[in-house]
Structure 1
Amino acid sequence: MTTIAARPTTTRLGYVDNLRILLTVLVLAHHSALTYGALPMWYWTEPSESLSGLALVAFVVANQFWFMGFFFLLSGLFVPGSVDRKGPGAFARDRLVRLGVPLIVFWLVARPVLSLPGWPERRDQGESFLRFWFSTGDPGPMWFVEVLLVLSLAYAAFRAVRARSTARLGAVPGTDAATDTATSLVARPLTFRAIAAFVAVLTVVTYLWRLAVPLGTYWPGVGLPTPAYLPQYVLLFVAGVLATRRGWLTSLTVRQGRVALIVALVGVGAALGASALASAPDAGIVVLLAQSLAENVVAIGAAVGLLVLFRERFSGQPAWARFAAQHSFAVYVIHPLVLVGVAMLFAPLVAPAGVKFLILLVLSVPLCWGAAYLLRRIPGVARVL
């Protein structure tokens, strides 16, 4: 078998940035759906049990199967190259700034502002405004940044330990033996069997994890709303790191992408059905295992299918796409403030949940990117956003 030396991803890939834009818009859609759906789990909600409200819940559940795990995979793609260039220590310090500072600022400023509608009730209970400001709420959507920071620091620690180990062995700098083991991996095309094996491993790990952390669990200490999906987040981040080293992004075939996307689309219905069955109090092992399998088939199928689709069809970046990609992280950080502000403005409007969802989303997307642009114009802000 012919192999080629794997090269770390060190430059921006247009189609990956385009995927980030898509996922960021999906985050806005996800939280817009929570605003008006029958699942009131957002800062400002107008829950509806209507048909459109239930449809919005189905949209939220289907999204949850895959889109945040895909975010972690894309985030892992550029981590090895960044550590290669900066070294583990400098990379860790950079991540603490780029991820830690927005996380802290959101918790100190945006979180209490978003919780202000609940202040009158807390005030009537005798709580001081200062205590309310620093104790109410959680990191909200910034849980993703929180988990990504932990994973990034863990990888930096791994690379630092590996570097010390090779130094103790007396490796000569610049040789393969002196570099991280991952850098000497070779590019091997992914096969359908390898993808299926990954789905199987992820399914078993997810099932075992959910015996202790079932769906619906919330970790208030860290503000993690979906800890039941942690195996998917961690393993897809690792897959992103390995994809860079092994050249998987370029080795995926069009046929693999097409099959994966079809499987993912068909699997959404099966995953929704399995989730409904698994929500029953007497759901057995077979049902819970089937739920984990269906969810991960959707997650991996969507990841493989969209990576190939965007690589082949949407790799170009016109000016608007470059602008959107440059500001996508800032949009992620500030979007709760924009969504809640617009939703409160349109609260008096009497309309079906689906209509209000569309109004909120259509207005919030350009407003979020515009606000992100203005925010990043402030000196020093672009350093972290």
Structure 2
Amino acid sequence: MSAGVNIPLGNLRAVVILIVVAFHSVLPYLASQPQQPFGFDEAPYRWIAFPLLDRERWFGFDLFCAWQDVSLMSLMFFLGGLFVPQSLLRKGSRAYLADRWWRIGLPFLLAVALLSPLAYYASYRVTAADPSFAAFWQHWRALPMWPTGPQWFLWQLLLFSALGAALHAVAPSWPGALGRLVAACNERPVHFLAALTALSALGYVPLAMAFGPWEWTWLGPFAFQLSRPLHYLVYFFAGFAIGSYGIDRSVLRADGPVARRWRTWLAAAVACFAAWGGLTSLTLPDWEASPLAFRLAAALVLPIASATGVLAFVAIALRWLRPRERALDSLSANAYGIYLVHYVFVLWLQYALLGADLNAFGKAGLVFTGALALSWASSAMIRTGVSLFFRRPPAVPAKARAHQPR
């Protein structure tokens, strides 16, 4: 994702990475999780989602994580699609795909190969009879999948980007058609909300009813949530459509109806999240054993909760994140690097605090602060190293070349 010169959305990108780090920082302290850690070799391998469980808990973290589960990843795919059309126009499909490979594909492979085992080694040590890395590696290689942690987002983003590039190559007028649809919603954000909700419901509800809303599957390092691939595809191309038309003249323009009515969008997001939470609670703890009507109602309400949540995030950014701040600029520039490396710091800090005499809020605060600082510094060093490695030597003027010794 590249926020370009759009300051509010660049600042939103910075806020999103803060939320991502916070989300992973609080997972051991959810009141809804069991007291005992999950066994490393025991299917369905719940430790992949909850690598560590602490004795300290706070229910407020459950509400925070549920809120993010509804809207955060949808927002990330939406932002991921916003700037694709301009990149395609500027570079062409082939150069764009090459750039995506170097920026997303290769880092995904490196992170999965190196960082994921390093992060999950902390989880293994909690229940292992032999906590050595050699024993961990033996157990790791015996797993029926290669756990990736939060890096699953990257391969799906790469896949969606490739699909957008392919459509641009075979049907160059297609982005323009999407843009015309967005133009019809310029002063009617409710129409945009309705279309987004309807399309995501078509993609989400049948899969949620067939597989359940929480189940994941893996093919080697490629993980995805069975109910949501089409839902996320809709959000990516919703962003793509707005980018095709032009962000600054779309329904998301700085002086547009979404920005002006940010309080309304926030209230709608809170109300829809509460409705989703209430209906989803009726399907717990066993989705399959709950009445069909409850399952269908819970599945139907998630698309509207997700859409209002995403638009509330964007509305608040357009209204309140307009100024350019040095800290937010740095955080936005390093957001991708932080995303790549933060999970290692999060898990090992959580592991280090398992026996600490602190409450859940204190532990989560230390994990968040430490992981953010360490991953931010790591990202800055990586970016500096990459910049130095790929820096071209300055061109020598013709007159200077003429006087150089031969």
- TM-score band w.r.t. shorter chain: 0.7 to 0.9
TM-superposed deviation, 1:196: 2.4
Q: Say if 2:267 is the partner of 1:270.
A: no
Out of 131-140 and 75-84, give the one that drifted further: 131-140
Gaps of 5+ in 1: 1-8, 164-176
Whole-Å separation in 1 of the counterparts to 2:302 and 2:117:
34
Match of 1:306 among 305, 309, 313: 313
Q: Say if 2:37 is the partner of 1:35.
A: no
Partner in structure 1 of residue 335 of structure 2 = 328
Q: Say if 2:165 is the partner of 1:156.
A: yes
Superposition TM-score, scaled by structure 2 size: 0.79
Report the AA paired with residue 206 of structure 1: Y
Partner in structure 1 of residue 262 of structure 2 = 257
Partner in structure 1 of residue 251 of structure 2 = 248
TM-superposed deviation, 1:43: 6.6
Q: Which whole-Å deviations, capped at 9, do the CAs of 1:185-227 have from their partners, x for residues lacking one? A: 7733134234224323322431112133312211121442533
TM-superposed deviation, 1:366: 2.2
Whole-Å separation in 1 of the counterparts to 2:218 and 2:232:
19
Whole-Å separation in 2 of the counterparts to 1:107 and 1:10:
26
| Secondary structure, counterpart of 1:379 in structure 2 | helix
Whole-Å separation in 1 of the counterparts to 2:51 and 2:130:
17
Q: 1:96 to 1:350 in 2, by over 3 A?
A: same
Whole-Å separation in 1 of the counterparts to 2:28 and 2:180:
48
- The count of aligned residue pairs is 359
Residues 140-155 of structure 1: pairs in structure 2 closer than 5 A: 140-155=149-164
Q: Say if 2:297 is the partner of 1:290.
A: yes
Partner in structure 1 of residue 183 of structure 2 = 187
Whole-Å separation in 2 of the counterparts to 1:218 and 1:25:
25
TM-superposed deviation, 1:178: 11
2:276–2:298 CA contact under 8 A, matched in 1: yes
Q: Which whole-Å deviations, capped at 9, do the CAs of 1:331-380 have from their partners, x for residues lacking one? A: 00000111123223323312222321122113322222122112222235
| Secondary structure, counterpart of 2:367 in structure 1 | helix
Partner in structure 2 of residue 239 of structure 1 = 238
Q: 1:187 to 1:204 in 2, by over 3 A?
A: closer
TM-superposed deviation, 1:182: 4.6
Q: Say if 2:144 is the partner of 1:139.
A: no
Whole-Å separation in 2 of the counterparts to 1:150 and 1:225:
12
Q: Which whole-Å deviations, capped at 9, do the CAs of 1:142-165 have from their partners, x for residues lacking one? A: 0001100000001111111114xx
Whole-Å separation in 1 of the counterparts to 2:321 and 2:63:
28
Report the AA paired with residue 213 of structure 2: L
Match of 2:81 among 48, 61, 76: 76
1:33–1:357 CA contact under 8 A, matched in 2: yes
TM-superposed deviation, 1:254: 3.9
Match of 1:88 among 93, 104, 121: 93
Q: 1:212 to 1:198 in 2, by over 3 A?
A: same
Superposition TM-score, scaled by structure 1 size: 0.83
Report the AA paired with residue 239 of structure 1: A
Whole-Å separation in 2 of the counterparts to 1:367 and 1:59:
23
TM-superposed deviation, 1:36: 2.4
1:376–1:382 CA contact under 8 A, matched in 2: no
Q: Which whole-Å deviations, capped at 9, do the CAs of 1:99-148 have from their partners, x for residues lacking one? A: 01110101111112123343765899x97947846967412100001100
Whole-Å separation in 2 of the counterparts to 1:141 and 1:227:
16
| Secondary structure, counterpart of 2:380 in structure 1 | helix
Partner in structure 2 of residue 168 of structure 1 = none
Partner in structure 2 of residue 200 of structure 1 = 198
2:334–2:380 CA contact under 8 A, matched in 1: yes
Report the AA paired with residue 248 of structure 1: V
Q: 1:277 to 1:326 in 2, by over 3 A?
A: same
| Secondary structure, counterpart of 2:282 in structure 1 | helix
Report the AA paired with residue 235 of structure 1: V
| Secondary structure, counterpart of 2:351 in structure 1 | helix
Out of 287-296 and 299-308, give the one that drifted further: 287-296
| Secondary structure, counterpart of 1:220 in structure 2 | strand
Gaps of 5+ in 2: 38-46, 391-406
Q: 1:180 to 1:260 in 2, by over 3 A?
A: closer
Whole-Å separation in 2 of the counterparts to 1:299 and 1:178:
26
Q: Say if 2:14 is the partner of 1:21.
A: yes
Q: Which whole-Å deviations, capped at 9, do the CAs of 1:235-269 have from their partners, x for residues lacking one? A: 11111011122323214444543322111012222
1:338–1:368 CA contact under 8 A, matched in 2: yes
Partner in structure 2 of residue 215 of structure 1 = 213
Q: 1:23 to 1:245 in 2, by over 3 A?
A: same
Q: Say if 2:338 is the partner of 1:338.
A: no
Q: 1:237 to 1:287 in 2, by over 3 A?
A: same
Whole-Å separation in 2 of the counterparts to 1:112 and 1:95:
24
Q: 1:131 to 1:265 in 2, by over 3 A?
A: closer
Whole-Å separation in 2 of the counterparts to 1:75 and 1:368:
21
Whole-Å separation in 2 of the counterparts to 1:248 and 1:180:
16
RMSD: 3.0
